[in-house]
Amino acid sequence: MVKLRLKRCGKKQRALYRIVAIDVRSRREGRDLRKVGFYDPIKNQTYLNIPGILYFLEKGAQPTETVYDILKKAGVFTEFHFNQTKVN
């Protein structure tokens, strides 16, 4: 199973997080399938690759709680539900 979760990078006391699609059995710093965005909690900035995120969500990837909140704030799920109803 694939999850969308945060992967820590950056310096000490200066954390940046990449939003990655990764296998559930991998550890936090393990090898990811694809990088789909990043999140800077200090500057409160996000960059999201929306087509990449939608691709993994359509394939059944589950976001973690924190990634879910970030995606919800960015409005990704409105596009995801719009695409789901459009296909059906």
Which has more confidence, 27 or 75?
A: 75
Q: Can you tell me the distance from the alpha carbon of 33 to that of 45, in angstroms, rounded to the nearest whole number?
A: 23
Q: The whole model's pTM is what?
A: 0.80
Domain 2-87 sits in CATH at 3.30.1320.10
Nearest C-alpha neighbor of 59 from the set 36, 39, 37: 36
Per-residue pLDDT tens for 12-71?
889 999 999 998 887 777 788 899 999 999 998 999 999 999 999 988 899 999 999 999
**Within 13 Å and on the Cβ side, how many CA atoms surround 59?**
13
Q: CA-based Rg of the chain, rounded to a whole angstrom?
A: 13
Q: Strand 14-23 relative to strand 34-40: parallel, antiparallel, unpaired?
A: antiparallel
Of 85 and 18, the structure prediction assigns the larger pLDDT to 18
Angle between helical axes of 65-74 and 76-87 (0-180°, round to 10): 80
Residue 86 has pLDDT above 70, yes or no: no
